Amino acid sequence: MSASTSEPALGAGDLDDPYALNPNDVQDPPKSWLGKLRFLGPGMITSAAVVGSGELLTATTLGAEVGFILLWLVLVSTFIKVWVQIELGRWSISTGKVAVTGYDEVPPKIGKRGWMAWLVLLMFVQFLTSQAGVITASAFAFSSLMPIGGDPYSFVSIGSWVAILVAIAIAIHLTNKYTVVERISTALVVLIAVFAIVMVFAIQGTEFSWTAGQLMEGMRFQIAVGSFGVALSMFGLTGVGAGEITAYTYWCVEKGYAAWSGHNDGSEAWVKRARGWISVMKLDAWVAWFVYTISTAAFYILGAAVLHPQGIVPAGDEVMATISSIFSTEVGRWGAVVFLIGAGLALFKTIIANVPSLGRQVGNTLAVFGAYDWSNQRQRDRWMRSIMIILPLVWGLFGTIVSSPLALVVLAGILNAVYLMGVAAATVYLSHRQTDPLVKDGKFFAVMLVLSAIAVFFVGVMGLVNML
């Protein structure tokens, strides 16, 4: 069956088992750009995970701190990291494997397991603390709009909203279907991108309006005196991280890219199919890059235009309260309402994407350590469903009651920094040792991959130094 026909794009719901390379699933890739667009999807799930607390809260805060001068760094920091994501996706399509399975094969071995597999096991701590913060921040936004019990910032109101969001997240993912995750993620990503752009243009005509000259000034590749630390923070916090890069391989497999390419039998037909589906995957990654870069830039501009002139540099959830109050004054009540709804959805979107993304990474890691057989579809599906119920419940309880104790936050930061370094090193190793050379690109991509790996590794080193 040819993928260039009018057949609809397939997903995990259409394949018997996307993690098993069944010859019956093999199909030719689309040749036209329009045909390729019909088979995009994994990148939208990545975008849903990327544009969350880091972009809404951190990018806005960084814009508030330094103004427009570092706008160019939004583009650079997101662009340089995507090459590692693409290469790991290429490896996944070439081998039919997913990231944690590959990480276990990266030497040196510790107790018969790859050192990266042990690191992912330790990353469960980071998965806990980061998502707990995101779900409570989302609850904060919705509680500000529709408080439960009177006081919008009370334990009762925020706790109630956390419970509501947890229940929604669990309900969405009970089916454990790729197509459900893709469609919801795509809809939310488009909605948030439109929201961010609308908010940026909503301030035109107010005292916080921005000009084309300011945007051009922000694209001059310069760093103001004293803003180097802020620049490093932005470089580390925007774009895909270790978790998103790792999760992308699962979505590439579940979309069908690996199954449609088929098992590598060394034939010219396989090389042609694999290169074709890798081409689709690369387009998918770049479309996602464009979407989350535009969204991140929009949040940065909000901080630079609205907060920086006033000398306001809010932290954490204060970003939402501060900007919503300014919108209420300058644009009208509708502006504040729209901003809080959009902010809440942007944050909750991260949870929607990370429940299945982290659920797969956790499930794959437990399988690597012998909890069950990853190749057994029935066992894998049962474990995934259980994990995707447990994760949001634990995040909600932790975020509401524990409030991220310092020791766990510090440990999570250290682990995340090391994880970034490990993902960069593991991607280069797996590409060199396991990816079929016949499906690789030329020297330009090889150079960009090295630069990307160095950049991702540098972000990890920077994070580790900052934590220690």
Contact (Cβ atoms closer than 8 angstroms) between residue 51 and residue 189? yes
Q: Say if residues 435 and 91 touch (Cβ distance below 8 Å).
A: yes
Provide the residue ranges of all domains of the chain, joining segments of one domain with +: 25-467
State phi, psi for 109 to the nearest 5 degrees: -90, 145
pLDDT, one tens digit per residue, over 91-102 is 999 999 999 999
448: which residues sit within 8 A by CB, 6+ positions away?
A: 83
What is the rounded CA–CA span in Å between residue 74 and residue 48? 17
CA 55 from centroid of its chain's CA atoms = 11
pLDDT in tens, 16-71: 788 988 889 999 999 898 999 999 999 999 888 876 655 677 788 888 888 998 89
Helix (H, G, I), strand (E, B) or coil at 405: coil
Q: Does the structure show a pLDDT above 50 at 11?
A: no
pLDDT reported for residue 332: 67
User: Is residue 110 helix, strand or coil?
Assistant: strand
Structure tokens at 301: 């501009």
Determine the Cα–Cα distance for residues 367 and 237; give it in Å rounded to an integer: 30
What is the CATH number assigned to the segment(s) 25-467? 1.10.4160.10
- CA separation for the pair 259, 253 (Å, rounded): 7
Q: Answer yes or no: are the C-beta atoms of 412 and 126 closer than 8 Å.
A: yes
Taking only the tens place, the pLDDT of each residue in 365-407 is 999 999 999 999 999 999 999 999 999 999 999 888 876 555 6
Whose tokens are 């729209």? That residue is: 338
Give exposure, 75-85, as e/b (b: 16+ Cβ within 10 Å): bbbbbbbbbbb
231-262 pLDDT, tens per residue? 776 777 677 888 899 999 999 999 999 999 99
163's enclosing H/E stretch is helix 155-173
Contact status, residue 152 vs residue 143, Cβ threshold 8 Å? yes
The number of residues making up the chain comes to: 468
Whole-angstrom distance, CA of residue 96 vs CA of residue 90: 10
Segments in 369-441 forming alpha helices (H): 377-397, 406-433
In 38-154, which ranges are continuous DSSP H helix? 42-50, 53, 60-66, 71-95, 99-103, 115-122, 124-145
